[in-house]
Amino acid sequence: MNECIFCKMVEKKIPVEIVDEDEDILAFKDIKPQAPIHVLVIPKIHIPSITSITKEHSRIMMKIIKSIQNIAKKTDIIDSGFRIVVNNGENAGQAVDHLHFHILGGRSLKWPPG
């Protein structure tokens, strides 16, 4: 049985506030926002992490990039700037083992990150 919480969101078994969706990707508001705009974009298929991406995922990855562009426009952070974060593995604090792209914006973001 699949225990992945993001797969459950895709299956609509866990409610999320959807920002963008098509047959391959889902974007939803992060439940614990770290910035005024904090959206997660995920592939609908279970890809564990960025290191698991292969050439076969090219179309889905392009769709994720297009979705990020659309969300940045829709949430009005396209001109002010925003950050895309992909945590990978233990040292980065990856908590959910289903590939996800954080979109963070709506405030000035510090660099380097903690």
Q: Which residues are catalytic?
A: 100
Q: Per CB under 5 A, does 28 bind Zn ion?
A: no
Question: Which helix H or strand E contains 82, and what residues bound it?
Answer: strand 82-85
d(CA 40, CA 10): 12
State the binding partner of 94 from ligand AMP, Zn ion, none, CB within 5 to 8 A by kind: ligand AMP
Q: Per CB under 6 A, does 62 bind ligand AMP?
A: no
Q: Are strands 18-21 and 25-29 parallel, antiparallel or unpaired?
A: antiparallel
Tell me the closest approach of the beta carbon of residue 101 to ligand AMP, in angstroms.
9
Q: What are phi and psi of 74, to 5 degrees?
A: -60, -35
The residues of the shown chain that bind ligand AMP, judged by CB under 6 A, are 5, 14, 16, 30-32, 40, 87, 93-96
